[in-house]
């Protein structure tokens, strides 16, 4: 029996997704029941839904998966990118009622329900994805049971836009902590790897596998809150500073931009995703919002330094404006471009040790083409080590 047939048989509650522009999608509830609002975006990953659900960069977003069936490998603690699901809501064509994986510890649906994440299934996710692609990412609201659709549309409209929202403070830790886990091995699990280089990671909503990859290339990692002062960072005597991924619009995160401005030239810096955008702003550039963002594991990026093309994992709605970098009056080079839309995917400063990429080289859930960037960071730190 298919999952959709099982929904009807089990008489699941109805659910409604209402977009700010008036489009409505009707399906069935899965996960928690209730109501939620957020920006609706689509993700093109074929696998790795648990990494998507627990990525803090998806905070305040309702994620639509383009893959038809989601949930058939269940969930497990090892694949979590943070301590809990971070999405505002989840929309799929079909939520699998069958879990088939030796690593599974729990089904996806009860896991979502336990964490209070509201989902909708049984909708035409192809139509919803095309609508977002044509009309842009926008606010939406999911409600379960009998709903007033006009009121639901009004709630979506009142949520506004992701532009202007500083969400970093809602996901960053309250205190600093040490991270010692290295990359996962199927036989040995997460191993602690001794590190010689000390990296201070500014946590704007960091994914755990980024930290694991830093440990895996020989780093000791101290994670500090997003609002940590430059003095606090430098007092830790880092060999390098890492700027993490995170949610929301980078421009309102002025405290992070100001801190990075002061750190530039004092210590090697490597940024990913939101960290890349914050570095761009600290260097005098500007950012702007994409129509529907880049969310998925199949985005082609060209490394302009080597000429190679890598398939990358991405999750962002904002990008650095290359024209603003050129006008900033500094020696900044664009190192990577997106081959789908030619947007900036990487930059480096030609006079001070600082570089960043817009995509996710930690490859969680994949692919692994860009792992070399962690080694590039290590080489930069070793070159400038006192």
* CATH of residue 264: 3.40.50.880
In tens, the pLDDT along 90-99 reads 999 999 989 9
Strand 344-349, strand 332-338: pairing: antiparallel
Q: Kindly state whether residues 51 and 123 are assigned to the same domain.
A: yes
pLDDT of the residue at 154: 98
CA–CA separation, 178 and 164 (whole Å) = 32
Q: Kindly state whether residues 185 and 85 are assigned to the same domain.
A: no
CATH number at residue 33: 3.50.30.20
Name the domain count of the chain.
2
User: For residue 238, what are the domain limits?
Assistant: 168-384
pTM: 0.95
CA–CA separation, 189 and 63 (whole Å) = 29
pLDDT of the residue at 6: 59
pLDDT of the residue at 104: 95
Q: Which of 111, 141, 159 is the last residue of a domain?
A: 159
| 3 state DSSP class of 86 | coil
pLDDT of the residue at 1: 42
Q: Kindly state whether residues 193 and 128 are assigned to the same domain.
A: no
| Phi and psi torsions of 164, nearest 5° | 85, 0
Q: Kindly state whether residues 133 and 180 are assigned to the same domain.
A: no
HSE (CB half, 13 Å, CA atoms) of 28? 17
* Tokens matching residue 377: 């960071």
Q: Kindly state whether residues 314 and 218 are assigned to the same domain.
A: yes
pLDDT of the residue at 9: 42
Q: Kindly state whether residues 232 and 132 are assigned to the same domain.
A: no
CA–CA separation, 190 and 126 (whole Å) = 37
CA–CA separation, 301 and 145 (whole Å) = 43
Catalytic, out of 273, 276, 299, 310: 273
Query: Of 307, 306, 304, 337, which Cα lies nearest the Cα of 320?
Result: 337
Q: Kindly state whether residues 136 and 177 are assigned to the same domain.
A: no
pLDDT of the residue at 163: 97
Query: Of 340, 305, 344, 306, which Cα lies nearest the Cα of 325?
Result: 344
Query: Of 29, 32, 184, 50, which Cα lies nearest the Cα of 104?
Result: 50
| 3 state DSSP class of 174 | coil
Q: Kindly state whether residues 310 and 172 are assigned to the same domain.
A: yes
Q: Which of 117, 132, 159 is the last residue of a domain?
A: 159
Assess whether 362 carries a catalytic annotation: yes
Q: Kindly state whether residues 116 and 185 are assigned to the same domain.
A: no
Catalytic, out of 51, 121, 213, 362: 362
* Tokens matching residue 261: 């401005």
Q: Kindly state whether residues 9 and 55 are assigned to the same domain.
A: yes
Residue-wise DSSP of 144-162: ESS--HHHHHHHHHHH--S
Q: Kindly state whether residues 277 and 355 are assigned to the same domain.
A: yes
Q: Kindly state whether residues 132 and 85 are assigned to the same domain.
A: yes
Q: Which of 116, 138, 159 is the last residue of a domain?
A: 159
Q: Which whole-number Å values give the CA distances from 288 to 90, 143, 256, 272, 317, in the listed order?
A: 26, 31, 17, 17, 9
pLDDT of the residue at 330: 87
Q: How far apart are the first and last CA of the chain?
A: 65
In tens, the pLDDT along 109-120 reads 999 999 999 999
Assess whether 115 carries a catalytic annotation: no
pLDDT beneath 50, residues of the chain: 1, 9
């Amino acid at each position: 029996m298919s999952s959709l047939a099982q929904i009807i048989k089990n008489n699941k509650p109805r659910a409604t997704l209402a977009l700010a522009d008036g489009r409505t999608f009707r399906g069935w509830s899965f996960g928690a029941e209730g109501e939620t609002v957020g920006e609706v975006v689509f993700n093109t990953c074929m696998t790795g839904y648990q990494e998507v659900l627990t990525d803090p960069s998806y905070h305040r977003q309702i994620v639509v998966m383009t893959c038809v069936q989601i949930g058939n490998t269940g969930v497990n603690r090892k694949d979590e990118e943070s301590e809990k699901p971070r999405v505002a809501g989840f929309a799929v064509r079909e939520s699998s009622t069958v879990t088939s994986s030796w690593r599974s510890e729990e089904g996806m649906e009860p896991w979502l329900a336990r964490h209070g994440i509201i989902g909708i299934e049984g909708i035409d996710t192809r139509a919803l994805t095309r609508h977002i692609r044509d009309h842009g990412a926008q606010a939406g609201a999911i409600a379960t049971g009998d709903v007033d659709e006009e009121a639901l549309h009004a709630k979506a409209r009142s949520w506004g836009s992701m532009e202007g929202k500083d969400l970093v403070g809602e996901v960053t830790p309250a205190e600093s902590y040490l991270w010692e886990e290295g990359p996962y091995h199927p036989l040995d699990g997460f191993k602690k790897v001794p590190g010689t280089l000390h990296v201070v990671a500014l946590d704007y909503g960091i994914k755990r596998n980024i930290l694991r990859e830093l440990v895996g290339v020989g780093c000791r990692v101290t994670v500090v809150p997003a609002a940590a002062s430059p003095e606090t960072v430098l007092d830790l005597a880092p060999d390098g500073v890492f700027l993490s991924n995170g949610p929301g619009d980078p421009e309102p995160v002025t405290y992070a931009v100001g801190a990075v401005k002061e750190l530039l030239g004092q210590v090697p810096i490597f940024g990913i995703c939101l960290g890349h955008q914050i570095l761009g702003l600290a260097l005098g550039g500007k950012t702007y919002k994409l129509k529907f963002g880049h969310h998925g594991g199949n985005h082609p990026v060209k490394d302009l330094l080597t000429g190679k093309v890598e398939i990358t994992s991405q999750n962002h709605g904002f990008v650095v404006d290359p024209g603003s970098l050129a006008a900033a009056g500094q020696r900044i080079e664009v190192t990577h471009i997106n081959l789908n839309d030619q947007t900036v995917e990487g930059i480096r400063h030609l006079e001070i040790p600082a570089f960043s990429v817009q995509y996710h080289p930690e490859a969680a859930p994949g692919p692994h083409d860009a792992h070399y960037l962690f080694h590039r960071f290590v080489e930069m730190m070793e070159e400038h080590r006192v």
